Amino acid sequence: MNKEEIKNRIIALREQIAYHSKLYYDNDAPEISDYEYDMMFEELKRLEAENPEFDSASSPTHRVGGRASAKFSPVSHRIRMGSLTDVFSHDEVVSFVRRAKEKLFEEGEREVKFTVEPKIDGLSVSLMYERGELVCGATRGDGLTGEDVTENIRTIGSIPHSIGLKTPELCVRGEVYMPRASFERLNAEREAEGGKLWANPRNAAAGSLRQLDASVTAGRGLDIFVFNMQYGELYEDGRAPLTHSESVSRLKEIGFSTIDMVDVTGDEERIIAAIERLGELRPTLSYDIDGVVIKVDSLRQREILGENTSTPKWAVAYKFPPEEKETLLRDVTLQVGRTGVVTPTAELEPVRLAGTTVSRATLHNIDIIRERDIRVGDVVVVRKAGDIIPEIVSSVKEKRDGTQKPFAFPEKCPSCGGELVFDDPDEEGGGAVRCINAACPAQLERRLVHFASKGAMDIEGMGPKAVSALIAEGMLKSPADLYSLDYGAIAAMPGRGETSAKNLAAAVERSKTRGPAKLLSALGVRHTGEAASEAIVARFGSIDALFEASEEELKSVPDIGDVTAHSIKEFFSLPETAELIGRLKAAGVVTEAAEERAGGTSLSGLTFVLTGKFPTMTRDEAASLIKANGGKVSSSVSKKTSYVVAGEDPGSKLTKAGELGVTVIDEAALTEMIK
């Protein structure tokens, strides 16, 4: 390429990487595999290094992760949460090891050891403790500023709220991940509801941790491995650890979940052997790893080596290549989701891939089939997107023998025989084929399962099997029918009984009080998930108000765009929607937001930071009280902080308040403000 072509290629790569980074880090919805992204990133780094005149400080190669979401309070990281330089071959690992040794030998260091540990595929977070108590959990964000997700962090069972160490402060870094069993359960529930499947456990973990409702996070089965001390004290006698491996061992002693599979060695051959061993173990683990991290073990030697602009010189991450295999595409079958979208699925000759047997793969939509020229009877290349979701990469055209047949969508729905139409290709999610029959049995079943699911009305005992059975008995034709069930008839059904029917009745009764945000989410309006439902109800206050809301008013809600606003307006313009909401209200389902507590606006516009132990309430209770009265709670002190509420044994936040001139009050003063 000439210089102009190189410049244009760099610009194009930056645009593509920025686009896919936003999908990966901010939206938790990647469109390409990690490997494809890594290869683009490596090409950009190489071109910038070879052509420094085209380098730029705003290039993605000089940034870390994604942006902090405005949905959460920002947290400034005292120590930058950086990323690592990726390498993709054993030769690159050896080059790194030799480079580090050579530099350290020049500085008089005669023994250099490295840790070799799995690279957990999850979401990086920091956990801040004061006097042994968890006070803040934050996402990495862009490395300098993350999101305050403390309430959601507290729902993860393996994260201790208190640790066996009462030093003034300790900040650790870990990787929140979703175990494979939790991921499979979550995607099974989503598939049954006709919802969009998560691409991989990493994105499912990120989406789960960034929920506005902590109870949703609590039900997702998240876990964590803590792998680093950021700053603070690990020993009460004031001494500091000498090595990374010592610090991790100490973190385990005081109550953190850490990775056991760590080798410490200075031998190049042992490092490569450890990488290969982890690669072999990878399919057998209960969680995902996407590579191996190699770090200099001595903390003093790390200081000698220093850091690049955004990555340390004392560590690299070896990334596993994606595994691909050939198999036979036997057939293409169709599934109808709750919104009527008809999704093609590839039925494959079973093949062992990344530790599991794969016999089916999603084809997403008709456009994918056409673009990749995939035909029934083809030999196809299969891999797992993000190493989890099977997908067809391409067909092997040179192995065709003339018996292969192009796939064409039928004109009628495979479930009800109703008309199939193509969505507007310019609309979000365009290109999908949809059944427009509102009475389609496949849609009805998935809509009802979604309505009763945990993230919606949370009716325990009303899963896919129960819904299917009740539809077959003629008891369910609408979500409103859930509130007029004949429990005597249910008790007489096979596998039920009086206790089962009684428990179901209680679960249905409890669901009536879930509130309008959960109800809106349960209704399954296209493009309107849990977060959007919460934001809309916070603005309009009730389901009834949505019948009168204009698209412009809906678009005024934060994060609600044209497509979502149009979908909501369209849904609430239907006469059957009015009939459904009328029946739900008549059954006693709550459709209006609860009134705020007395004095509920006394702290409106004020931001509070909590530190120390309070006399009559916990910090969580104090935070809830502030929020219930219109205030905001942040985990870090800044010039925008209105008050710091300090109790016994306050931490560094009190010092920060003094430096910034922020007013400090106690619990009694806070209570008086509310009164």
Average pLDDT over residues 625-630: 78
Note the pLDDT of residue 56: 77
Token readout for 81 is: 């949460």
Note the pLDDT of residue 381: 92
Note the pLDDT of residue 596: 39
Higher pLDDT, 355 or 556: 556
CA angle at 268 for the pair 262 and 272, rounded to the nearest 5°: 60
Note the pLDDT of residue 65: 53
Tens-place pLDDT, residues 57-110: 667 776 555 555 556 888 999 998 988 999 989 999 999 999 999 999 999 998
At 428, the pLDDT band (50, 70, 90 cuts) reads very low
pLDDT at 356 over 70: no
pLDDT at 28 over 60: no
> What is the strand order of the sheet 263-265 is part of?
85-87, 315-319, 289-296, 114-120, 263-265
Partner residues linked to 86 by β-bridges: 317
Domains of the chain: 3-62 (1.10.287.610), 74-185+198-319 (3.30.470.30), 324-420 (2.40.50.140), 441-586 (1.10.150.20), 607-674 (3.40.50.10190)
Note the pLDDT of residue 214: 84
By mean pLDDT, which of 322-331, 378-387, 488-497, 653-662 is the weakest?
Answer: 378-387
For residue 396, the Cα-to-chain-centroid distance in whole angstroms is: 34
Token readout for 354 is: 């990344």
Average pLDDT over residues 334-359: 81
Indicate the pTM of the whole model: 0.53
Tens-place pLDDT, residues 174-200: 999 999 899 888 888 877 765 667 767
Sign of dihedral through CA atoms 198, 192, 361, 370? negative
pLDDT at 347 over 90: yes
Greatest extent of the chain over all pairs of C-alpha atoms, in Å: 83
Note the pLDDT of residue 627: 76
Note the pLDDT of residue 27: 58
Of the candidates 119, 295, 384, 632, the residue annotated as catalytic is 119
3-state DSSP call for residue 149?
coil
How far apart are the C-alpha atoms of 164 and 254, rounded to whole Å?
5
Note the pLDDT of residue 256: 95
Q: What are phi and psi of 604, to 5 degrees?
A: -60, 135
Higher pLDDT, 593 or 596: 593
pLDDT at 262 over 70: yes
Note the pLDDT of residue 600: 60
By mean pLDDT, which of 174-188, 327-341, 472-486 is the weakest?
Answer: 327-341
DSSP 595-621: PPPTTTTTTTT-EEEEESB-SSS-HHH
pLDDT at 238 over 90: no
Output the CA–CA distances (angstroms, integers) from residue 614 to 106, 132, 265, 608, 646, in the order listed: 54, 15, 47, 14, 8
Tens-place pLDDT, residues 504-521: 999 999 999 888 989 998
Q: Residues 429, 407: contact at Cβ < 8 Å? A: no
Output the CA–CA distances (angstroms, integers) from residue 435 to 102, 181, 224, in the order listed: 65, 32, 42
- Please state, for a pLDDT cut of 70, what percent of the chain lies above it: 91
Average pLDDT over residues 24-38: 65
> What is the strand order of the sheet 123-130 is part of?
133-139, 123-130, 169-177, 223-232
Output the CA–CA distances (angstroms, integers) from residue 182 to 36, 185, 201, in the order listed: 26, 5, 9
How far apart are the C-alpha atoms of 427 and 132, rounded to whole Å?
51
> Which are the contacts of 195, defined by CB distance < 8 A and separation ≥ 6?
337, 338, 450
DSSP letter assigned to residue 148: B
At 49, the pLDDT band (50, 70, 90 cuts) reads confident
pLDDT at 597 over 70: no
Note the pLDDT of residue 270: 97
> Which are the contacts of 105, defined by CB distance < 8 A and separation ≥ 6?
112
Higher pLDDT, 117 or 391: 117
Is 639 tagged catalytic? no
Token readout for 215 is: 């109870």
Amino acid at 177: Y
Note the pLDDT of residue 63: 59
Tens-place pLDDT, residues 379-394: 999 987 655 578 888 9
Note the pLDDT of residue 426: 47
Q: Residues 415, 336: contact at Cβ < 8 Å? A: yes
- Please state, for a pLDDT cut of 90, what percent of the chain lies above it: 38
Mean pLDDT for the chain overall: 85
Q: Residues 413, 435: contact at Cβ < 8 Å? A: yes
Average pLDDT over residues 233-246: 93
